[in-house]
Structure 1
Amino acid sequence: MKLSISWYLVAGATATTTAIPGSDDPLNIPLRHHAVTELPPGSWIENLAVRKNGNLLLTTVLPDASLFEVVDPAGASPTLIRHFTIEQITSLLGIAELTPDRFVVAGGNFSFVAGPAQGSFGLWSIDFNDPSPQPSLLADLPEARLLNGVIAAPEAQDVVLISDSFSNLVWRVNAATREVDIAANLQDATNPGPHSALGINGIKIHDGDLWWTNSTADTGAETNESQRAMYRIKVEKDGSPAPGAQPERMVQFQTPGLDDFVFGPGQNDLKWVATNSGDSIIAVNAEGRKAIVAGGDGSMDLTTTTACQFGRTQRDGRTLYVTTSGVEADGESRGIPSMVQAIDTTGFDF
């Protein structure tokens, strides 16, 4: 998610910035892609997760807080099911699988006019082992300002990590005890300049590091360096920063925004980044080189890319599923549907 609100904080401004790779212009290496499904104009698909059977779960920020499922996305005729809408809130955001077919999703009240409503955010659990899955409130997070990315800590049972884009915190929820605390505070020496907006957005743990995107920061006044970047910090199994660890700015971007991202396919170290209002997917290799693999500024089939995940079946393990929004980052509808696009990454390397 990206907003154009001027007074919020920017994560990672104190990160180590020496030898930043990937600050050059990206290559253009277009990959084949096609539409899988869509929602009507005026909708915003915010995030997705992949079930063990290969189906996709989609969350929506607009027009309401709904969870959809795309059945057989790799097939010839995928179908779309709405499972539920949480009427007490307006928007669903990040979603992640906690245990096989049990998912957690963040939600709260949000509008592009008024912004997020502090005190409205929480974490819900959905169990797809139940034939009629319904949301169950797992924890309230009344101090959260805008929950966004959600992951399950890969080496800590029942631990959920959630980015807070307007506080630049990573919240931690124990799904067994329902205890809530702060795993990481990333707001030191932030740059609340006149054009700064969202900070921390998508989060992932990869090879013992917590990675995140910093969404829409403008150039720092002192360093004259773009802070729209990917960062990492060494963390413990529960998501807490390792003793003495400091954020590192790993890849710098010149796109209008950054959103969620994924590593893959499989154990591959390639990073695939949704650029939100950049209307594209950018691949980043281990050396920090970047390539636009789909879309681009003004793209109508990858407009406002919000998240991406690889398929989990033999048929689509190298297919990158991408969610888009038919709404601009300022809330204006483009008059086009939000979509799920499938990008074939077979054989891709650079």
Structure 2
Amino acid sequence: MSFLIYGASGFTGALIVDLAVKKGLKPVITGRSEAKIQSIAEKYGLDYLVFGLTNKDEIVKNLEKFPLVLNCAGPFTRTAKPLVEACLVSKTHYLDITGEIEVFELVKSYHKKALESKIVLMPGVGFDVVPTDCMADYLHTQLPDATHLELAFANVGGSISHGTMTTMLEGLGNTGAARENDKIVPKPIGSKGKMIDFGQLKHFTMTIPWGDVSTAHHTTGIPNIETYVGAPRFAYFFMKLQFLFNPILRSSFIKKKLQNYVDKKITGPTESQSQKGKSFIWGKVTNTEGKTVEGRLITPEGYKLTAEASLLITQKILALKDVAGYQTPAGLFGYGLITEIKDAAFEK
């Protein structure tokens, strides 16, 4: 059964298309640039479409031919809403690879309409947030009465893509977030820092607004959630002074200058980096009595995992019946989902 990949000409979208073809799948690819999309389609012998996201009727007309669309076009703060609203009309399952809290919350707000349209809405089917969502679900099964959840990840040997960097630029100067007593609350990025034992390495980490602040709560119901990322100590100390720079970083002039640099210099990890890189996931839950459970998970490099996970979930959802509404990866498929990906495993 064919499905649609939107944003196929971006770094991650192209990785997903390449892997899909290697797996014998025949997605139809699409995006806003005909020259780029046509080139990829000819390379792999795939059908393609070209359409933007400003005309809802046009989006619906193109989506209604397909049971599912996988959105790889960031920033998802711009692309998720028009695609989701069109999917509700065309009755097309919606997936994307976002990691942005506001996008998860936005898509979740369409849950009731998705039930009525009998479609699944599942943002975050890549590294953002499949492995951490599975970790959250795993820890919750070990300590069902947990009231606090901490999640952290560290990447070794990889790099960053143009699309991810663009998304980061969108958020420059903004605050971070955590979940406290069931509510998402603003927190300065890097408000906390600590050394974490990931098993094969120890790494300094600091708090960031990772998507699990939204998704892990949906998956587990745990009311207090903090998310950390591996970072150099100097970055952590720099973030302590961010209040001095945030007004400057939020200016359109500065963002435009930085975007120009990203457009020229940032391409993403090489094939060698993707093959050699690894991602380490750590989590801990705590209940009101102070009991704790920790977990550790090793996965392939983030972009490689995103390609594998997004296609795995695409195939699973296409095979499902009688499931609809807003869903999270582990919430729908359980924490064992991550172990279906080669070279991903919980540490004993």
TM-score (norm: length of structure 1): 0.32
- Greater helix fraction, Structure 1 or Structure 2: 2
TM-score (norm: length of structure 2): 0.32
State the structure with more CA Rg: 2
